[in-house]
Structure 1
Amino acid sequence: MAGSGTAHMRSTDSPVLTVDDLVVEFPVGRKQKVHAVSGLNLDLLPGETLGILGESGCGKSTAGRAVMQLPSPTSGRVHLGERELTGLKTRDLRKARARMQMIMQDPTSSLNPRRKVKDLVAEGLAIWGFDGTAEEKEARIRETLTAVGLDPTVVWDRRPHELSGGQCQRVCIARALMMNPKVLICDEPVSALDVSVQAQILNLLERTKEQYDLSMIFIAHDVSVVKNISDRVMVLYLGKTCEVIPSGDMETRAAHPYTRMLLASIPGAGDREVASSAAAVELPSPLNPPSGCRFRTRCPLATERCAAEEPELRELHPGQFVACHHPVG
């Protein structure tokens, strides 16, 4: 779908992050491989939040990790500003990658259980050094903890098991902010949290993005969450881009049957005739994805052309790109 097409947003600003033809494949024996991500292209603009949306197993998290070079992709290029990350030597990559930070899905397991909050937040500074006194370092840690809604006097000497899931995620965000990143990649950052806490973390991320002048990739399977926090939404299916659309246009202009299926999954969204039959069909295996359009085995609009010819990502409306032979509407 997105192998040769691109989904670049028109802007006079230079992207802070550019991904070109990203491919991630995992060998699994018997000359087979998992096609996790196949030809992903994106630009992330200064101050933008790009949502990556799709069902479990569609390649969202793999794409985010590949952008971070964790591990490096099978092929393709990733540019952070003007610098290409793919192919860098280990130390150069680690240094360049400090400008990108990742917020993981499970906040508790992503923190070292033996370390105190003050040390967890300062971990990046301990690795790369800090030009200042011990007092200045402590002041910066306290300031960052306060910025993410934690009281330093309360959590300073606590360990992760003494904190709630929401507090642990705030610690993870603080730890990322200490490195002054330009890009924050959030991989399902609220899916492991109680519903009552999710809104607090989402609001925190939005405030943090403005306060620290960040650009953000937000990965999730929850349509409502992605739609509300993102400026644009990229919809993935079996490692391919189906649609890229401004978040404000999703309800009225979504053109790919898969996007419409996801929208129909929102409680109270109403009946969408195109999506009604697709949700009940099982996701195909990434070991042997369908020919042509990968969504065709679940698509009520599929024709012989969909099996024989892979649709290219093309611009349907300004800022909206769709990879479908039979877009809706």
Structure 2
Amino acid sequence: MTAVQEPTRDSVLSVRDLVVEFPVGRRQVVHAVSGISLELRAGETLGILGESGCGKSSAGRAIMQLPAPTSGSVVLDGTDLTGLKPREVRRARARMQMILQDPISSLNPRRKVKDLVAEGLEVWGYDGDDREGLLRETLGAVGLDPDVVWDRRPHELSGGQCQRVCIARALLMDPTVLICDEPVSSLDVSVQAQILNLLERTKERYGLSMVFIAHDVAVVKNISDRVMVLYLGRTCEVLPSDGLEVEARHPYTRLLLASVPGAEGGAPESGAIVPTTTELPSPLNPPSGCRFRTRCPLATDRCAAEEPPLREIAPDHFLACHHVEPDTRPTPEEPHP
């Protein structure tokens, strides 16, 4: 990969050439993720954006080794999880927690909230005297009244409350990295805002680094520091979230931006992008070269023959497209005092 993947001293999670494939029948393979790489910096939220089926959740689960990726490396705080034995993976993975898309299904319906949140402590044999106090403090930190929810079961809670329980369960393990896999997509809009604000507060309070996976452009932009755009298992573009609407240059990113109600074609300087077809290619047999070429109005023979490399076109802005040149615009000079 290119410079976007170069590790830095403040990186807490480094993923290299991650490949996730699932066999289907005897001869077919689903190419869910095909060689993506990423760097998660300390205290950063990296958003992973793309349509359903682009490999976002598969990438998140592979980072967690659930299951382990087909190939590639996942380095957490200097430890390569893919090279460890199963018991060592479980121990190292405790520093990385995951919040799943459906909060109700991810909770055991027979257990009470106090037991659900304490599951991690039970697994690792925590027997401190302040156990109940720690549980109550964590529940309070995610906006739940311990006295109200302590003995309740998941069916007695709302969807938003269940998601808060999931967040509390993850935080109790004191993780370095929190992977959020579509954590608000199943919630009402008003509850979504509450959970997003909660994640922002807990990130600051606990010093977390987050990978936030979603298909909602507005949600990813608002919570992320940088955005990685995936299409059919490959990285299209990586750029800072504050310049997403203006600086995005990949045709697929601009198509996603144009799909937001009220948008006017994505990046203003580039014009509207109209896909040549709405039919998505199959991950069983992805297109050669650029995988977006079957829907891209800019596609040429070169796009079919060559896979575009991910390269830096502007500071902290990386893109994989044959038809976009690096940004050569001069940097404005500082005004003289």
Which TM bucket (shorter chain)? over 0.9
Identity %: 74
2:103 corresponds to which of 94, 107, 110: 107
Cα deviation per residue 1:176-197 (whole Å; 9 max; x = unaligned)?
0010000000000000001110
Counterpart for residue 236 of structure 1 = 230
Counterpart for residue 306 of structure 2 = 309
Question: For 2:70 and 2:106, how far apart are their aligned partners in 1?
Answer: 25
CA apart distance, 1:275: 4.8
Matched, 1:255 2:252: no
1:1-329 alignment, distance < 5 Å: 4-8=1-5, 13-133=9-129, 136-272=130-266, 275-278=272-275, 280-327=277-324
Cα deviation per residue 1:56-93 (whole Å; 9 max; x = unaligned)?
00000000000000000000000001111003111111
Q: Which runs of 5 or more residues in structure 2 are unaligned?
A: 328-337
Greater relative CO, 1 or 2 (CA 8 Å, sep 6+): 1
Q: Is the 8 A contact 1:22 1:37 kept in 2?
A: yes
Q: Is the 8 A contact 2:5 2:16 kept in 1?
A: no
CA apart distance, 1:277: 2.1
Question: For 1:247 and 1:158, how far apart are their aligned partners in 2?
Answer: 39
The amino acid of 1:190's aligned partner reads V
Count of residue pairs the alignment pairs up: 323
CA apart distance, 1:270: 1.5
Three-state SS of the structure 2 residue aligned to 1:16 is strand
The amino acid of 1:116's aligned partner reads K
CA apart distance, 1:281: 1.5
CA apart distance, 1:280: 4.9
Scaled by the length of structure 2, the TM-score of the pair is 0.93
Question: For 1:182 and 1:196, how far apart are their aligned partners in 2?
Answer: 29
CA apart distance, 1:263: 0.5
Question: For 1:149 and 1:299, how far apart are their aligned partners in 2?
Answer: 45
Three-state SS of the structure 2 residue aligned to 1:296 is coil
Q: Is the 8 A contact 1:274 1:300 kept in 2?
A: no
CA apart distance, 1:267: 1.0
Q: Is the 8 A contact 1:257 1:327 kept in 2?
A: no
Question: For 2:313 and 2:132, how far apart are their aligned partners in 1?
Answer: 52
Q: Which runs of 5 or more residues in structure 1 are unaligned?
A: none
Q: Is the 8 A contact 2:139 2:145 kept in 1?
A: yes
Cα deviation per residue 1:13-71 (whole Å; 9 max; x = unaligned)?
43110000100011112421011001111110110000000000000000000000000
CA apart distance, 1:232: 0.3
Q: Is the 8 A contact 2:257 2:265 kept in 1?
A: no
The amino acid of 1:161's aligned partner reads H
Q: Is the 8 A contact 2:254 2:273 kept in 1?
A: no
Scaled by the length of structure 1, the TM-score of the pair is 0.95
The amino acid of 2:30's aligned partner reads V
Q: Is the 8 A contact 2:74 2:80 kept in 1?
A: yes
